[in-house]
């Protein structure tokens, strides 16, 4: 493949896995990672590919319309894989506006910039919008989200992602933009910022800090290993039907408290602590406002039409994930202390 591929948000958790996957698998493609480097973006996540000849990093904010237009004109991207976003539900409760600005305004800027360079020559192009299952709202104890489930976002985060999904679909219907979308369940794995449940709790357990479980811990999420998400994105980009949405999920539902107990057990083993030691850190705290009860994805469309399926069993994936964070405690320390910003400036000031 010899395409020029823009990946936005490539210094974040999922984006860094996508960038690495494409840089390594497609040496003849040019992979351009564009990222603002917010608190969640970290170029250390891409150390292993930063010197590859087919990789370029651009520090930019997708909200800056004029610069985005110039960058699209300069690089003439064939494909856009758009992941850049404000992504944490709790932050969207305390600061909703930044979610509207990046997730909605940023997305329409990219759509406009792509339309400007692709004009009437859209045949071989793709605009891939990476989204979340949270746009569908909250399930009760039964049922699954399908691609036909009505949108019912309930947090400022999911509402902003729903808004961006609608814009992407509107550009398909109105301007024939060659879009594909996917809505994925909760991801886990290496390089996830330790504000999300799994890396936050791994970090707290290693530091003997309380584990703040929201409400009674009865909320349910469907967890997918980030490497399986990367493969799904590749499959949909290359083989998905233009204008279509594909749900991606792990078929792997866990009640928060059960997942946390499993994580505690794994951590006890890895840290050579007596059984039950880490569980003592569990602390039930006030519930998240508007906390969605259950997410569960039906990914049969992707599995049947495009032959994708998840590869990693959760217990194995979680253990691998714990191993990664424990082997990369300096990464974790730098991020938790905020020192990674200073570190980044020192490492990258001459670039
Ligand atoms: P993340 O917060 O780890 O990374 C987001 C990246 O976007 C960061 O590198 C950040 O610097 C960059 N960014 C933020 N604002 C920007 C801006 N204005 N301009 C340019 N770059 C900007 O997020 P993530 O968990 O990797 O999620 C990536 C995408 O996948 C998001 O669109 C999210 O909605 C979606 N998603 C995430 C999950 C999940 O479980 N994490 C599940 C489904 C979908
Ligand atoms: P999170 O990782 O923030 O993902 P999302 O809210 O997008 O699903 O949270 C996963 C689940 O864990 C969610 O039900 C909220 C819960 N949670 C806690 O109980 N305590 C915490 O400290 C965090 C961050 C999350």
Task: Note the pLDDT tens digit of each residue in 174-232.
Answer: 999 999 999 999 999 999 999 999 999 999 999 999 999 999 999 999 999 999 999 99
Catalytic residue among 35, 44, 61, 133: 133
**d(Cα 131, Cα 166) in Å, to the nearest integer?**
11
Residue 26 a catalytic site member: no
Q: What is the number of the ligand closest to the CA of 130?
A: 1
Pocket test for ligand 1, best of 44, 71, 81, 83 (most atoms within 8 A of CB): 83
Tokens for 140, please give them.
């009760």
Catalytic residue among 35, 44, 86, 134: 134
Relative to beta strand 79-82, strand 55-59 is unpaired
**d(Cα 18, Cα 230) in Å, to the nearest integer?**
5
Model confidence at 299: pLDDT above 80: yes
Model confidence at 266: pLDDT above 60: yes
Please state at what angle helix 197-206 crosses helix 256-270, rounded to 10 degrees.
40
Catalytic residue among 79, 136, 144, 157: 157
Band (pLDDT 50/70/90 cuts) for residue 120 is confident
- Nearest residue (by CA) to ligand 2, atom 14, is 219
Model confidence at 346: pLDDT above 80: no
Give the pLDDT of residue 351. Answer: 43
Rg for the chain, CA atoms, rounded: 20
Q: Is 221 in the pocket of ligand 2 (CB under 6 A)?
A: yes
Average pLDDT over residues 5-22: 98
Residue 345 a catalytic site member: no
pTM of the complete model: 0.97
> In sequence order, which ranges of the chain are alpha helices (DSSP H)?
13-25, 65-75, 89-94, 96-99, 106-118, 156-175, 197-206, 226-239, 256-270, 300-306, 314-327, 329-337, 339-348
Pocket test for ligand 1, best of 60, 84, 184 (most atoms within 8 A of CB): 84
Model confidence at 340: pLDDT above 90: no
Model confidence at 11: pLDDT above 60: yes
- Nearest residue (by CA) to ligand 2, atom 9, is 197
Residue 79 a catalytic site member: no
Cα dihedral across residues 43, 226, 213, 315: positive or negative: negative
Model confidence at 282: pLDDT above 60: yes
**d(Cα 219, Cα 295) in Å, to the nearest integer?**
9
Atom of ligand 2 nearest to the CA of 214: 19
Give the pLDDT of residue 347. Answer: 53
CA of 273 to the centre of ligand 1 (A): 35
Q: How far is CA 307 from CA 22, 131, 136, 270, 320, in A?
A: 19, 20, 24, 36, 25
CA of 83 to the centre of ligand 1 (A): 5
> pLDDT digits over 36-80, tens only?
999 999 999 999 999 999 999 999 999 999 999 999 999 999 999
Q: What is the number of the ligand closest to the CA of 132?
A: 1
Ordered domains of the chain (ranges, CATH): 4-190+223-252+290-313 (3.40.50.720)
What does the mean pLDDT of the chain come to? 95
Give the pLDDT of residue 337. Answer: 84
Q: Is 153 in the pocket of ligand 1 (CB under 6 A)?
A: no
**d(Cα 167, Cα 222) in Å, to the nearest integer?**
26
Q: Which residues contact 50 (CB under 8 A, 6 or more apart)?
A: 43, 57
């Amino acid at each position: 493949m010899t395409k020029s591929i823009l990946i936005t948000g490539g210094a974040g958790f999922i984006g860094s896995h996508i960038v690495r996957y494409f840089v390594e698998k497609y040496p003849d493609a040019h992979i351009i990672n564009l990222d603002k480097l917010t608190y969640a973006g970290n170029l250390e996540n891409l150390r292993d590919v930063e010197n590859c000849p087919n990789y370029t990093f651009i520090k930019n904010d997708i909200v800056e319309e004029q610069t985005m237009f110039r960058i699209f004109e300069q690089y003439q991207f064939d494909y856009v894989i758009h992941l850049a976003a404000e992504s944490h539900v709790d932050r969207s409760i305390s600061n909703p506006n930044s979610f509207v600005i990046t997730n909605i305004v940023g997305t329409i800027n990219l759509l406009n910039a792509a339309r400007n360079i692709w004009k009437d020559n859209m045949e071989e192009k793709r605009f891939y919008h990476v989204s979340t299952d949270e746009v569908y709202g909250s399930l009760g104890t039964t049922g699954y989200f399908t691609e036909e489930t009505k949108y019912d976002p309930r947090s400022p985060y999911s509402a902003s992602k729903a808004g961006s999904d609608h814009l992407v679909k509107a550009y398909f219907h109105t301007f024939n933009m060659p879009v594909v979308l996917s809505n994925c369940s909760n991801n886990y794995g290496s390089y996830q910022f330790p504000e999300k449940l799994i890396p936050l709790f791994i970090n707290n357990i290693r530091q003997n800090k309380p584990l703040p479980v929201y409400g009674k811990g009865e909320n349910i999420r469907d967890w997918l290993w980030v490497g399986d998400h990367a493969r799904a994105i590749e499959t949909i980009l290359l083989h998905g039907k233009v204008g279509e949405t594909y749900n991606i999920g792990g078929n792997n539902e866990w009640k928060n408290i059960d997942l946390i107990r499993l994580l505690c057990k794994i951590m006890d083993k890895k840290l050579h602590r007596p059984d039950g030691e880490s569980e003592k850190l569990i602390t039930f705290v006030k519930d998240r406002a508007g906390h969605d009860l259950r997410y569960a994805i039906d990914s049969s469309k992707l599995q049947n039409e495009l032959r994708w399926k998840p590869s990693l069993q959760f217990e194995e994936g979680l253990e691998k994930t714990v191993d990664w964070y424990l082997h990369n405690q300096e990464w974790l320390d730098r991020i938790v202390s905020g020192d990674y910003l200073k570190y980044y400036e020192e490492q990258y000031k001459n670039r």
